[in-house]
Amino acid sequence: MNLPRLALSRPVTTFMLCLSVLAAGMAATRLLPLAMWPDLDFPGVFVQINAPGMGPEEMEREVLRPIEESVSTLTGLQRLEATANPDQGQVRIFFNWGEEMGPRNLEVQARIDAIRHELPTTVQRVRVFTGSTSDQPILTLRLSSERDLAREYTLLDRRLRARLERIEGVSQVQLYGVQRPQIEIQLDPEQLQRYGLNDRQVADRLQRNHQTVSGGLLDDPPRRLRVRPDAEFHSVEEMAALPLGPGIRLDDVADIREVTPDLRLVRLLERQPSVGLNILRESGANLVEVSRRVKAELEDVRQEDDFHGIRIFEMNDEARGVIESLRQLLRAGLIGALLALAVLWFFLRSFRITLIVVATIPLAIATSLASMYLLGMSLNILSMMGLMLAVGMLVDNAVVVSENIFRHRQELGRQPLSASLRGSREVGIAVLAGTLTTVIVFLPLVFGGQDQISIFLQHVAAAIVVTLLASLLISLTLIPLLLSRLSRTGAGQDRPNPVAGLAKRYGSALQWSLRRPKITLLLGALAMGSIVIPMNAVETDMFPPEGSRTLWLNYHIQGSHPLNDMKEAVNTIEDYLYANKERFDLDSVYSWYEAGRAQSGLILNEGDKARLSPEEVRDRVLADLPDIIIGQPSFDWQRAGGAEGLRIHLEGERYDEMLPMAMQLAERLRGVEGVVGARPVLESRSQELQVNVHRRSAEQFGISPREIADSVSLALQGRNMRPLRGDVDDTQMRIIYRDAERRSLNELAALPVALPDGGRVRLDNLAELQIAEQAAAIQRLDRRTSIPIELDLAEELSAGDARQRVSTAMNDVELPPGYRWGFGRGFQQDQEAMQQLMQNIMLAIFLIFLVMAALFEALLKPLAILSAIAFSITGVFWFFMLTGTTFSFMAMIGILILMGVVVNNGIVLVNHVNQLRWGGMNMHDALYHGSLHRFRPILMTVTTTILALLPLALGDVRIGGGGPSYQPMARAVIGGLAFSTVVSLFLLPVLYILLDRLGHRARRRWRQAGTMVGLRPAESAQ
């Protein structure tokens, strides 16, 4: 269908359609949900195992290995990780990106259910679940106060958590850092002995008298009643009066109190104990709107008397990151659009034509927004990134069409309607092919190999593709229609060409290159070969460190220590940080610690208050960081794109033998140039008290090892009972020995264990108590025990260089049989990302060739245009070397986008040359005049694209406000486009001649071969 003719013949219909699209786009801006990331399922299934009292080594041997064995044969399994901790374990099963995790979750659940009977009875719960980007908290709060908030559970739960959970769009509010009050039945050993009772008897008697049972159904015509025997306690007083024997009540041998359990993990904000709140949104809810409602509710909460003196601090606000990212993108897009507007006016010298061309931008973006809403997408930082990149390319089609129409009116003297029809039709196929080449580079992301980058890029591509297709449609309909309505004066036909002098000099240089094709080809080859110079100078790091304004200081605690020792260590570091708060550009410090682990988050000043970069703060802090006895604090190396930190893994079977090996490897790696730190992540070990039952002694006393274990467990950690039901909520109950938390080793050895005959015997007569070391935690990778060794790199050392140096250092290492080392996911992600993107780039080049071959009905001429891609990559590396930019995965994304852009000008140029030759012009003149005709539109499209991306290239706009920078991507497009355009303007015509001659020669030989084949029968007849 001839779109320009249709638009010119139906002007009212065309205008109405454009207004409809504009209105739909404006409506979509209010209806589209805002989010940080699109809703994506993580390619993994996670298994959480709770087994109170089980140590890491037992967890690994008895639980993790059987689960790993059961799921190891799943199809599509990519990686299997597991971690054994005291009382719990985790198994992480990873699949390919893009797979549906719902069926995978059910499959894993079925595999674990099949072996559930083989797991130890201490395993209480096995939870199987998946995760997605929508599961991340949109708002993380910290509450601190002079008063002890750990005792304010009722206030925070009922008056804050439940209140926030009722807000529209909020799916869940998680409250942590405060313990729920519970009722403790604290047994008195002396009173038990006085009344001739034992702990197990009391616990069993209490459990039998506090139960819920079903009484069945009773038919009492005409009614049918459900019977529920009431066998529960309804108050503490009723429970205290429970008879344990003649004249013996429960409160005679135990104290019944409401207590708040002590915290095992302490959080500090501004040196005050703090409580945490995570707020999650419903799927599809507008992130910014939900966050606004929550903050409005928090303002009302702050005004209440009960919350006076409680500081509510926003630890992490995704809505703020989204708004800041959108604001930065919109600001950069607006500046770029204004620069493009100025460029268009400079070239066209007509304000009306400039406005007509620029009108493509809002209409195309409106079309994209409306399409995104209809497709159920959200407006997130990835789709905004696509829209931002599309802004620089939106006017390309409109520029080519309008400039050709302008040429038909100015140079050929045609009437407005005829010029609009013929001018747009003449370049219609070229702009269609140019748009398709830009769109088609994203097909490999959909049909090629899938990884995290390609999955995320699909959402970037969706915005770009829809927007560019809309700009193509507008350029072939609305642009010719509007230009046909302009008079000769309005079209600026009598105004001089601002680049006439430059075009004249270009024409002279082009004539020189056409007359000297060998020299031109040699210069082109030298230009392409010069890439070896910047490639060796440009640093490559696919996932460079992020520029987040929050730095995490990990304490790397050695061994397991009580909370008092942990508190002292954290206080030492915080004293140092707050004493230098101004020098370190700190806004606040958030710390947390538990037995064996601690971390401090340095929250830096932002915006106008920021004086130092994160790297400068990190160097200043480490310069005089005080030593602590129990650990070695250092900053975590945070990488862009959520990539894992840089590690190597030591793998084997026996953890005890691997630990000294890991220490030796870490010492060796610390000697590698550029590695400023290396340490085994699990180098510490904790101590445990082992109670080894003497089975012969137990048999003599008539007691089983299980009963002995139950007595020890009841004495130290108690036994959970059924909750006590209340009018508002239930209260957890636990029976335990009095002062169990402060029991010493000698007191435990003297613990009286009840015998079946009513007698008692000391625990040390039944078991041997000895202190032994155990692993604080054990990690497994692909069904082998693994110790990760974490590396900290110097600022100037990239991950790629670090990999080479580590490989060199480890080549001479000889490990015992059965043990090996390998690079962790952080190093592998660099290599995998590079390989995957290179595959996508090669496939995209092939698809571009297919489009151009179909357009020109030739196989050789498209090769001339494809040369622009090679020159563009050369330009990328030269520009990176000159600007000191690191080559990262964002630069690879820029190259992928660049490939579809750089061939557009070549397509328009070659298509116009072909039209001139079809009109009877010889090849040399067609190349000369065609290149001059397309010189101005090429300069216009290239300049508008470069200037539209200039704010991103010069500024520090980041994904999500604190993620990877847009700089490498924008600079890749700018450098590659500028270099390839300059070279291609001279080299492309010469390559066209060369390939055309090769084509003629090939066809001539083909005809000669065909003639010879056709003559053989005649010759033989003679």
Q: Is residue 331 part of a domain?
A: no
Residues 712-750 have pLDDT tens digits of: 888 887 778 888 887 667 788 888 887 765 567 887 888
Whether residue 662 contacts residue 651, with contact meaning beta carbons closer than 8 Å, is answered with no
- Please check whether residues 439 and 570 belong to one and the same domain: no
Q: Which residues pair with 685 in a beta bridge?
A: 775
| Domain end call among 133, 167, 194 | 133
Measured CA to CA, the distance from residue 819 to residue 749 in angstroms comes to 41
Could you tell me the CATH number of the domain that includes residue 443? 1.20.1640.10
pLDDT of residue 495: 56
Residues 574-597 have pLDDT tens digits of: 999 999 988 998 888 888 888 778
Measured CA to CA, the distance from residue 266 to residue 592 in angstroms comes to 5
Measured CA to CA, the distance from residue 365 to residue 430 in angstroms comes to 22
Residues 397-425 have pLDDT tens digits of: 888 888 788 778 777 677 878 888 888 88
Question: How many other C-beta atoms are found inside a 10 Å radius of the C-beta of residue 619?
Answer: 13
Whether residue 602 contacts residue 625, with contact meaning beta carbons closer than 8 Å, is answered with no
| Domain end call among 570, 602, 637 | 637
Residue 535: Cβ-neighbour burial (10 angstroms; 0-12, 13-18, 19+): middle
Q: Is residue 474 part of a domain?
A: yes
- Please check whether residues 490 and 500 belong to one and the same domain: no
pLDDT of residue 75: 86
Mean pLDDT, the chain, as a whole number?
Answer: 81
pLDDT of residue 1011: 64
Q: Is residue 488 part of a domain?
A: yes
Which residues have a Cβ under 8 Å from the Cβ of 754 and sit 6 or more positions away?
Answer: 198, 199, 200, 201, 711, 760
- Please check whether residues 677 and 737 belong to one and the same domain: no
Please give the average per-residue pLDDT across 122-144, as a whole number: 83
Whether residue 878 contacts residue 536, with contact meaning beta carbons closer than 8 Å, is answered with no
Q: Is residue 279 part of a domain?
A: no
Q: Which residue has the tokens 């004066």?
A: 489
Please give the average per-residue pLDDT across 867-888, as a whole number: 88
Instruction: Give 744's DSSP letter.
Output: -
Q: Which residues pair with 650 in a beta bridge?
A: 787, 821
Please give the average per-residue pLDDT across 355-381, as a whole number: 83
Residues 484-505 have pLDDT tens digits of: 887 655 554 555 666 778 888 8
pLDDT of residue 960: 57
- Please check whether residues 841 and 975 belong to one and the same domain: yes
Instruction: Check whether 387 has a pLDDT greater than 70.
Output: yes
H-assigned helices in 135-221 = 153-156, 162-165, 189-194, 199-208
Q: Is residue 175 part of a domain?
A: no
- Please check whether residues 668 and 538 belong to one and the same domain: no
Please give the average per-residue pLDDT across 313-340, as a whole number: 75
pLDDT of residue 429: 84
Q: Which residues pair with 248 in a beta bridge?
A: 245
Measured CA to CA, the distance from residue 470 to residue 464 in angstroms comes to 10
pLDDT of residue 921: 86
Please give the average per-residue pLDDT across 537-555, as a whole number: 75
Q: Is residue 272 part of a domain?
A: no
Instruction: Of 373-377, 643-647, 776-780, give the lowest mean pLDDT range.
Output: 643-647
DSSP 394-455: HHHHHHHHHHHHHHHHHTS---HHHHHHHHHHHHHHHHHHHHHHHHHTTHHHHHS---HHHH
1019: pLDDT confidence band, cut at 50, 70 and 90?
very low
- Please check whether residues 361 and 460 belong to one and the same domain: yes
Pairwise pLDDT comparison (558 vs 155), residue with the higher score: 155
Pairwise pLDDT comparison (247 vs 349), residue with the higher score: 247
Instruction: Check whether 653 has a pLDDT greater than 60.
Output: yes
For 583-631, give the secondary structure using H, E and C: CCCEEEEEEEEECCEEEEEEEECCHHHCCCCHHHHHHHHHHCCCCECCE
Range of the domain at 195: 182-212+229-259+687-775
pLDDT of residue 644: 53
Measured CA to CA, the distance from residue 362 to residue 355 in angstroms comes to 11
Query: ω into residue 222 within 30 of 0, thus cis?
Result: yes
CA 670 from centre of chain: 30
Instruction: Give the sign of the dihedral formed by CA 454, CA 460, CA 463, CA 469.
Output: negative
pLDDT of residue 950: 82
- Please check whether residues 895 and 956 belong to one and the same domain: yes
Helix (H, G, I), strand (E, B) or coil at 83: strand
Measured CA to CA, the distance from residue 522 to residue 528 in angstroms comes to 10
Could you tell me the CATH number of the domain that includes residue 194? 3.30.2090.10
- Please check whether residues 488 and 398 belong to one and the same domain: yes
Residues 812-864 have pLDDT tens digits of: 788 888 888 888 776 666 667 677 777 878 888 888 888 888 877 878 888 88
Q: Is residue 148 part of a domain?
A: no
Please give the average per-residue pLDDT across 348-364, as a whole number: 79
Query: Nearest CA to 451 among 98, 77, 92?
Result: 98
Instruction: Check whether 466 has a pLDDT greater than 90.
Output: no
Please give the average per-residue pLDDT across 702-716, as a whole number: 83
pLDDT of residue 448: 58
pLDDT of residue 741: 55
Predicted structure pTM score: 0.72
User: Edge to edge, what strands does the sheet with 182-187 contain?
Assistant: 254-259, 182-187, 731-737, 719-724
Measured CA to CA, the distance from residue 376 to residue 722 in angstroms comes to 46
Question: How many other C-beta atoms are found inside a 10 Å radius of the C-beta of residue 593?
Answer: 22
* Number of independent structural domains in the chain: 6
Residues 5-27 have pLDDT tens digits of: 888 888 899 889 989 988 998 89
Instruction: Check whether 1018 has a pLDDT greater than 50.
Output: no
Which residues have a Cβ under 8 Å from the Cβ of 982 and sit 6 or more positions away?
Answer: none
- Please check whether residues 599 and 538 belong to one and the same domain: no
HSE (side-chain half, CA atoms, 13 Å) at 742: 2
Measured CA to CA, the distance from residue 851 to residue 844 in angstroms comes to 11
- Please check whether residues 859 and 991 belong to one and the same domain: yes
pLDDT of residue 573: 92
pLDDT of residue 975: 92
- Please check whether residues 500 and 471 belong to one and the same domain: no
Measured CA to CA, the distance from residue 876 to residue 388 in angstroms comes to 20
1022: pLDDT confidence band, cut at 50, 70 and 90?
very low
110: pLDDT confidence band, cut at 50, 70 and 90?
very high
Could you tell me the CATH number of the domain that includes residue 48? 3.30.70.1430
| Domain end call among 494, 529, 561 | 494
pLDDT of residue 313: 83
Please give the average per-residue pLDDT across 309-331, as a whole number: 79
Whether residue 78 contacts residue 116, with contact meaning beta carbons closer than 8 Å, is answered with no
Helix (H, G, I), strand (E, B) or coil at 496: coil
1021: pLDDT confidence band, cut at 50, 70 and 90?
very low
Instruction: Check whether 641 has a pLDDT greater than 50.
Output: no
Q: Is residue 328 part of a domain?
A: no
Please give the average per-residue pLDDT across 932-960, as a whole number: 80
Please give the average per-residue pLDDT across 368-389, as a whole number: 82
H or E stretch including 172?
A: strand 170-176
- Please check whether residues 515 and 586 belong to one and the same domain: no
